[in-house]
């Protein structure tokens, strides 16, 4: 297992992070999985044995049941080897202040997560989604308070846009608050939107990138193929809609290429998709999940899979999106003065310019 530094922090995390959304099975999360404590404990041990040192959860997963299961199974030997990241923002009750990124909700949510997780400190506390009604100054102050009080070690964000992140980092610098060390984003061969702003920001501002749903909810696992119905038991069979598919033909072309490369290498398509993401600029770790031991073991194997330049080139070619404005204009008019963060997006489009 390789370990990478998380943003500008001194923390090193495994390139594979253990996802836990399949724990619990309450409410909307039942579509993803409904594993109990015994299954969860066995999967945690498999990940620890493979060298994984971070697990990711959220209070909203199964309305807190997921965190409760983690609290029940993470005895001291396991906790000493595995850090815990969790998230807050979504509704955990029916009251007007039971959601969002207000000081009121964040501090209450953190204390509730600590209790469910049966731990004294959360290693990485992430705001789960943007809240346009709460001033960012209030959110950053609340996160800073949690760190200063020893309840949280590091803070990060998830599902923020580029300007949201830059505004938050600016406030943190101006007011001497704790700054985000990472962002958790969706970034796959099928969905490369993050390359426009979020990846360059991470490179320029020193943020680690954790990738959620790195095989697109199972779409890139190789189980889904052109002109076939979604296999029974998969998220898509149950009506899962993340990520949204805007170009179905492009998706099938990507999957065809994944399956071809995987077949030639004697590995799964999921491993190839994960290896591609792990090799992208700025990416620190991918969050893997699953319902079974086989799924976890297969995904864990991607940590050791190194794709060739030719394989990466094929995958890049079938998945490369259109270059949006103002980036196509920068490609045409500013290519001689682009920095490292700019080139993370624009470099592939410069060939043959």
- Calculate mean pLDDT across residues 119-137: 98
Q: In the prediction, which pLDDT does 225 show?
A: 85
Which residues, including other chains, have CB under 8 Å from residue 27's CB and lie 6 or more apart? 62, 63
Label residue 123 by pLDDT band (50, 70, 90): very high
Is 61 considered catalytic here? Answer: yes
Q: In the prediction, which pLDDT does 146 show?
A: 98
Backbone phi, psi, residue 97, to 5°:
-110, 20
Q: In the prediction, which pLDDT does 351 show?
A: 79
Containing 109, the helix (H) or strand (E) segment is: helix 103-117
Q: In the prediction, which pLDDT does 238 show?
A: 47
- Calculate mean pLDDT across residues 124-130: 98
Label residue 237 by pLDDT band (50, 70, 90): very low
CA distance 194 to 345: 10
Label residue 234 by pLDDT band (50, 70, 90): low
Answer yes or no: is pLDDT of 233 > 90: no
Render pLDDT for 67-111 as a digit per residue (tens, 0 to 9): 999 999 999 999 999 999 999 999 999 999 999 999 999 999 999
CA distance 197 to 323: 12
Answer yes or no: is pLDDT of 352 > 70: no
Which stretch of 22-26, 150-154, 233-237, 349-353 has the lowest confidence by average pLDDT? Answer: 233-237
CA distances from 170 to 156, 179, 324 (A): 14, 9, 26
CA distance 313 to 297: 27
Long-range residue pairs from 337-342, CB within 8 A, at least 24 positions apart, any chain: 339/204, 340/203, 340/204, 341/200, 341/201, 341/203, 341/204, 342/200
Answer yes or no: is pLDDT of 235 > 60: no
Which residues, including other chains, have CB under 8 Å from residue 352's CB and lie 6 or more apart? none
Q: In the prediction, which pLDDT does 353 show?
A: 57
Catalytic annotation, pick one of 61, 125, 187, 327: 61
DSSP string over 122-163 = EEEEEE-S--TTS-HHHHHHHHHHHHHTTSEEEEEEES--HH
Render pLDDT for 288-346 as a digit per residue (tens, 0 to 9): 999 999 999 999 999 999 999 999 999 999 999 999 999 999 999 999 999 999 999 99
Q: In the prediction, which pLDDT does 59 show?
A: 98
Residue 116, both tokens: 């469910």
Q: Is the pTM of this model over 0.85?
A: yes
Q: In the prediction, which pLDDT does 243 show?
A: 78
């Amino acid at each position: 297992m390789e370990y990478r530094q998380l943003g500008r922090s001194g923390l090193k995390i495994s390139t594979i992070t253990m996802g836990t959304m399949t724990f619990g099975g309450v409410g909307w999360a039942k579509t993803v999985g409904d594993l109990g404590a015994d299954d969860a404990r066995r999967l945690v041990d498999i990940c620890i044995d493979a060298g994984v040192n971070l697990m990711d959860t959220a209070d909203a997963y199964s309305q807190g049941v997921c965190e409760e299961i983690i609290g029940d199974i993470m005895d001291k030997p396991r906790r000493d080897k595995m850090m815990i990241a969790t998230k807050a923002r979504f509704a955990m009750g029916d009251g007007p202040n039971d959601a969002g990124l207000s000081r009121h909700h964040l501090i209450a949510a953190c204390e509730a997560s600590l209790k469910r997780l049966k731990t004294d400190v959360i290693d990485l506390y992430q705001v789960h989604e943007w809240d346009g009604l709460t001033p960012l100054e209030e959110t950053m102050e609340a996160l800073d308070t949690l760190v200063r009080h020893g309840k949280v070690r590091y803070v990060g964000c998830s599902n923020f846009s580029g300007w949201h992140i830059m505004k938050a980092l600016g406030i943190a610098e101006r007011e001497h608050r704790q700054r985000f060390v990472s962002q958790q984003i969706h970034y796959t061969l099928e969905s490369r939107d993050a390359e426009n702003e979020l990846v360059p920001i991470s490179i320029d501002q020193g943020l680690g990138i954790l990738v959620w749903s790195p095989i697109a909810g199972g779409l890139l696992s190789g189980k889904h193929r052109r002109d076939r119905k979604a296999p029974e038991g998969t998220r898509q069979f149950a009506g899962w809609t993340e990520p949204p598919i805007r170009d179905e033909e492009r998706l099938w072309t990507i999957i065809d290429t994944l399956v071809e490369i995987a077949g030639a290498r004697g590995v799964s398509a999921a491993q190839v998709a994960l290896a591609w993401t792990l090799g992208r600029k700025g990416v620190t770790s991918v969050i893997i999940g699953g319902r079974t031991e086989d799924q976890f073991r297969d995904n864990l194997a991607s940590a050791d899979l190194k794709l060739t330049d030719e394989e990466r080139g094929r995958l890049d070619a079938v998945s490369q999106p259109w270059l949006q404005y103002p980036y196509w204009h920068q490609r045409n008019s500013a290519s001689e003065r682009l920095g490292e963060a700019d080139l993370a997006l624009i470099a592939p489009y410069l060939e043959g310019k």
